């Protein structure tokens, strides 16, 4: 169950002027396990203090005296602190004063590696009841396991290496047909299992899909049970409706009236914002994409949603393994929003360490000239449109419309076919005018999404 962020923790441990590390992420994405793996890899003892179990020590943190705080933590930690320890403050959101106290570890006890983690962390960080230690904390964002992490956990390291070893431009031997087929079949499994570590582990341990559904149900129930913790004054029935809507309508423009026709838009908007803060859902916001940065052209009230994880999304939607197993290769891309969700959650992983982690897309609405590009990214200094769609290049109408207006040097299409590249040269009608469009189209199988930044950079460099 190794994670790609594990080397990042090793780098953090050795960096001069090391700051306390705060691992952020939704509930049950593996934050505590990542810290445990890190301590083991570094040969360090892990001194764990779970602050949910010790809420009574809030006053100790409020003292702002690191010596007093350390003495108390040393008393309640499962393993006493030593020179070879890592202090792990788990579920730190339960005692917000502990977040504020991290500055004193940085300033007065820098020799002690301190890691903190917690679910619903965003709500504690948004609380203005305490002074945030600005500039004295290092953050690491963690989400569900990626497809290559899933492959490694399932004992398919060879397939994961085939993804890592792929180079651009593609040729007939880049990914042999047999390997491509096996990767697509593993991706089919990932669309059902998803990337939640407990679901991946139970599948890897049992080689059975039956217990995976039980894990999905448990995690979904946990997310629902969390509503009162961060939305105590909200209508729980409406929150559940919004939660289910986010899963069932992932990848589609949000119309508040479709979520709950009996409630005001501002009410639904606030419910969505709370779920986004809990990292259960994520917004993908429309950008005019006129120039970089893409966030400068955002239209905040036009957005679609991604769910936390593709496996959980399918579970809420009632899409079982029997349905996914029957899908053809093209249906794996075009049926429902499963493929768009898969790509979206991996794109979130790719931008996790950027200051602005919000994905963008492009939408043009009109009576006869609607067009939508699933995602638009900034890669290698260029605006790169990304479509998730199987079919001929000539069928990519929205991508052609985007190219006519924005003139990108290249575009990316994710589908179920082996990797390929072609120069698109076509004439299209856009907003009543004919335009000649020319751009490079990189067609990539879904499983290469984690390599996207490198592949785009390689193509632009040629």
Q: Please state the domain extents for the chain.
A: 6-141, 149-461
The CATH number of the structural domain formed by 6-141 is 3.40.50.300
Question: What integer pLDDT is reported at residue 83 of this predicted model?
Answer: 86
d(CA 114, CA 17): 13
Q: Give the residue carrying structure tokens 């026709």.
A: 261
d(CA 301, CA 68): 48
Cβ proximity of 329 and 184 under 8 Å: yes
Question: What integer pLDDT is reported at residue 130 of this predicted model?
Answer: 63
d(CA 411, CA 441): 5
Question: What integer pLDDT is reported at residue 131 of this predicted model?
Answer: 65
Question: What integer pLDDT is reported at residue 350 of this predicted model?
Answer: 95
Burial of 132 (0-12, 13-18, 19+ CB in 10 A): middle
d(CA 253, CA 256): 10
Question: What integer pLDDT is reported at residue 393 of this predicted model?
Answer: 61
d(CA 142, CA 31): 7
Pairing mode of beta strands 138-141, 21-24? parallel
d(CA 187, CA 449): 12
Cβ proximity of 287 and 376 under 8 Å: yes
* Tokens of residue 382, six digits: 């260029």
Cis peptide leading into residue 169 (ω within 30°) = yes
Cβ proximity of 415 and 389 under 8 Å: yes
Chain centre distance of CA 333 = 19
d(CA 413, CA 177): 19
Categorise residue 394: left if φ over 0, alpha if ψ from -120 to 50, beta otherwise. Answer: alpha
Spans in the chain with pLDDT lower than 50:
none
Which residues lie across from 430 on neighbouring strands? 433
Question: What integer pLDDT is reported at residue 123 of this predicted model?
Answer: 86
Question: What integer pLDDT is reported at residue 152 of this predicted model?
Answer: 98
Phi, psi of 351 (to 5 degrees): -105, 15
Helix (H, G, I), strand (E, B) or coil at 76: helix
d(CA 280, CA 53): 24
Question: What integer pLDDT is reported at residue 353 of this predicted model?
Answer: 83
What is the 8-class DSSP label of residue 266? H
Cis peptide leading into residue 293 (ω within 30°) = yes
Beta-carbon count within 10 A of 284 CB: 24
In this prediction the pTM is 0.95
């Amino acid at each position: 169950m190794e994670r790609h962020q594990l080397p990042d923790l090793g780098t953090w441990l050795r960096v001069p002027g090391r700051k306390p590390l705060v691992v952020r992420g939704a509930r049950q994405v593996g934050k505590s396990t990542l810290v445990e793996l890190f301590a083991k890899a570094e040969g360090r003892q892990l001194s764990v203090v779970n602050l949910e179990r010790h809420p009574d020590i809030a006053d100790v943190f409020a003292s702002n005296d690191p010596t007093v705080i350390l003495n108390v933590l040393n008393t309640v930690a499962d393993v006493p602190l030593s020179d070879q320890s890592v202090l792990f403050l788990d579920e730190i959101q339960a005692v917000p004063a502990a977040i504020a106290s991290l500055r004193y570890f940085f300033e007065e006890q820098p020799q002690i590696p301190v890691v903190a983690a917690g679910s619903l962390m965003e709500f504690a960080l948004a609380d203005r009841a305490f002074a945030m230690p600005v500039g004295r904390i290092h953050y690491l964002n963690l989400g569900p396991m990626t497809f290559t992490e899933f492959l490694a956990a399932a004992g398919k390291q060879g397939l994961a290496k085939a993804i890592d070893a792929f180079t651009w431009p593609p040729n007939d031997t880049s990914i042999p047909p047999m390997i491509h087929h096996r990767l697509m079949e593993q991706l089919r499994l990932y669309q059902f299992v998803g990337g939640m570590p407990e679901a991946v582990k139970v599948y890897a341990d049992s080689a059975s899909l039956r217990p995976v559904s039980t894990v999905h149900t448990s995690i979904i129930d946990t997310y629902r049970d969390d509503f009162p913790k961060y939305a105590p004054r909200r209508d729980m029935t409406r929150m559940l409706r919004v939660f289910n809507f986010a899963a069932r309508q992932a990848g589609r423009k949000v119309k508040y009236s479709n979520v709950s026709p009996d409630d005001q838009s501002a009410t639904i908007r606030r419910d969505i914002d709370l779920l986004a803060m809990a990292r259960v859902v994520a917004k993908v916001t429309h950008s005019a994409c006129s120039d970089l940065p893409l966030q400068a052209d955002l239209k905040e009230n036009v957005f679609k949603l991604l769910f936390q994880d593709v496996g959980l999304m399918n579970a809420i939607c009632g899409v079982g393994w029997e349905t996914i197993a029957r899908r053809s290769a093209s249906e794996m891309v075009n049926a429902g929003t499963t493929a768009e969700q898969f790509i979206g959650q991996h794109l979130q992983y790719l931008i996790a360490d950027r200051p602005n982690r919000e994905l963008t897309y492009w939408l043009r609405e009109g009576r006869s000239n609607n067009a939508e590009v699933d995602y638009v990214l900034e890669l290698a200094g260029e605006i790169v449109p990304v479509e998730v769609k199987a079919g001929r290049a000539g069928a990519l109408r929205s991508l052609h419309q985007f190219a006519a207006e924005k003139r990108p040097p290249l575009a990316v299409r994710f589908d179920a076919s082996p990797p390929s590249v072609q120069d698109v040269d076509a004439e299209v009608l856009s907003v009543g005018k004919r335009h000649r469009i020319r751009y490079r189209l990189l067609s990539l199988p879904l499983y290469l999404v984690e390599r996207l930044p490198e592949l785009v950079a390689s193509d632009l460099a040629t």
